[in-house]
């Protein structure tokens, strides 16, 4: 099992992000089960953060598709590693639109990854615990629905 977490810039019109997120979600729900890919996508202030889980070969195919998706620019892998098990086994790519008032910066995410990777290998359970803590403590996200 392999895990990729990446960040990218949203290149579309910010007024269209709601519509684009719904399109991305529909496409993911349609295509990812055939590849046995699970994960979650976050959008915040012009940036995506996506967690993808599956077989490395399938994830690499998906990453190639994403690199050619005109809605993405500057795709940067934060984590690219083997894992023992899935962290999102029942998530067929849920999507969260983070509160626009929350401050998350690309350089901070990259710095966190560098600090984390020097100290330990990536553990999906730990990442999920962090995300759950953010939700419970700060109410940072809301689910995007149609």
Number of structural domains in the chain: 1
127 in Cβ contact with 86 (< 8 Å): no
The conformational region for residue 139 under phi > 0 = left, psi -120 to 50 = alpha, else beta, is left
pLDDT at 113 over 90: no
Q: Which domain holds residue 126?
A: 2-143
Cα distance between residue 64 and residue 124, in whole Å: 23
Give the residue from 91, 84, 107 showing the smallest Cα distance to 42.
Answer: 91
Given this model, what pLDDT does residue 54 score? Answer: 94
pLDDT tens for 52-101 read 999 999 999 999 999 999 998 999 888 888 888 887 777 666 666 665 54
User: Domain of 139: which CATH number?
Assistant: 3.30.70.100
């Amino acid at each position: 099992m392999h895990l990729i977490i990446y960040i990218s810039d949203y290149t579309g019109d910010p007024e269209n992000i709601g519509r684009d997120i719904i399109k991305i979600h529909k496409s993911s729900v349609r295509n990812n089960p055939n590849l046995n890919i699970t994960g979650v996508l976050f959008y915040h202030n012009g940036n995506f953060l996506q967690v993808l889980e599956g077989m490395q070969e399938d994830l690499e195919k998906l990453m190639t598709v994403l690199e050619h998706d005109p809605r993405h620019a500057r795709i940067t892998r934060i984590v690219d590693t083997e894992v023992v098990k899935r962290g999102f086994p029942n998530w067929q790519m849920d999507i969260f639109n983070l509160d626009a008032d929350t401050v998350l910066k690309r350089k901070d995410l990259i710095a966190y990854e560098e600090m984390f990777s020097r100290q330990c290998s990536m553990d999906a359970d730990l990442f999920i615990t962090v995300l759950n803590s953010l939700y419970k403590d700060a109410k940072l996200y809301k689910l995007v629905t149609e």
